Amino acid sequence: MKSTKTTLITGASKRVGRDIALTLAEAGSDILIHYYRSRRDALQLKKDVESRGVRAEVFKADFSAGVRNLPSAIKRFVRDVYRVAGHVDLLVNNAAIFYPTPLGKITGRHWEDFMTVNLKSPFFLAQEIGMRMRRRKSGSIINLVDWTGLRPHPNYLPYAISKAGLIAATTGLAKALAPHVRVNCIAPGPILPANGATAKQKRAVIKKTLLKRFGNPKDISETVRYLWQGSDFVTGVMIPVDGGALGS
């Protein structure tokens, strides 16, 4: 076992989360894989991580509005993680939901859905794990946000508002957990199209970038790796990895 660090990644089974897991495993981190529905992918990822010579463990949890007393459920989840892993050096809050909610059709359920999975859960995970990191005087937290948190699309307002909240949470948590724990966020642009996105929708998102193309999960995982291993003098910031969407 070559690893000296342990990383917990939420929603790690597939897509961007899986790439972050494999990239950090290759860089020598043990990986704690959180999943909710994608058990089979999580177990496959565990094997793929272990084949890189580091440890992998799998944890299931629902972070949705349907969970009764979510902060307590998150406390129990974190306790289980620490019982198995001992400690967490890096938390990557990656799990999220994304779907259109045109104005006039937004219900209370939509609102609760987005605010709970995309904002409340990562916040309480960061509080629970951040306090433990603070006691150890070491740790780092990375939140996956979205460039549209700063430039909301009118058809995705609850989503964009949840990500805007997580950007604010990043800045505030960086202050609250300093000087030993760093908290940053990464704001992807179009990296992987949402499942079921049409060719027209894909063209529309690409048009908003300066580079006129989709990025790659590697663009995100290499940024995570930079924040983990590249510099330990970065905290309280948002790094856009968006093909120039914010600058357009």
Ligand X SMILES: NC(=O)c1ccc[n+]([C@@H]2O[C@H](COP(=O)([O-])OP(=O)(O)OC[C@H]3O[C@@H](n4cnc5c(N)ncnc54)[C@H](OP(=O)(O)O)[C@@H]3O)[C@@H](O)[C@H]2O)c1
Nearer to ligand X, 3 or 240 (CB): 240
Helix (H) or strand (E) holding 188: strand 181-188
Q: Which of 95, 133, 164, 185 binds ligand X (CB under 6 A)?
A: 95
Residue among 16 and 85 whose Cβ is closer to ligand X: 16
**Stretch of 80-88, 175-183, 185-193, 196-204 lying at the interface with ligand X (CB under 6 A):** 185-193
Instruction: Say what angle helices 15-26 and 39-50 make with each other, to 10 degrees.
Output: 20
- Measure the CA–CA gap between 178 and 169, rounded to whole angstroms: 14
Q: Which stretch binds ligand X (CB under 6 A): 69-77, 79-87, 95-103, 127-135?
A: 95-103
Beta carbons of 160 and 48 less than 8 angstroms apart: no
Name which position in 144, 157, 169, 224 contacts ligand X (CB under 6 A): 144
Token pair 């990025």 is found at 215
Show the binding pattern over residues 200-229: x = contacts ligand X (CB under 6 A), - = does not. Answer: ------------------------------
Residue 129 parent element (H or E): helix 121-136
Is position 40 an interface residue for ligand X (rule: CB under 6 A)? no
Nearest residue to ligand X, scored by beta-carbon proximity: 11
Partners of 59 in the β-ladder: 34
Number of continuous H segments (helices) and E segments (strands) in the chain:
8, 7
Q: How far is the CB of 144 from ligand X (least distance, A)?
A: 4
Q: Which residues contact 154 (CB under 8 A, 6 or more apart)?
A: 102, 103
How many residues in the shown chain lie near ligand X by CB under 6 A? Answer: 25
Nearer to ligand X, 3 or 215 (CB): 215
Q: What's the min distance (Å) between Cβ of 148 and ligand X?
A: 7
- Residue 71, H or E segment: helix 70-85
Shortest spacing between CB 2 and ligand X, in angstroms? 27
Which residue has tokens 């793929």? 48
* Residue 141, φ and ψ in degrees, nearest 5: -125, 135
Of 96, 112, 123, the C-alpha closest to 12 is 96
Per CB under 6 A, 151 contacts ligand X: no
Asked whether position 124 contacts ligand X by CB under 6 A, the answer is no
By CB under 6 A, name the binding residues for ligand X.
11, 13-17, 35-38, 62-64, 94-98, 117, 144, 146, 188, 190-192
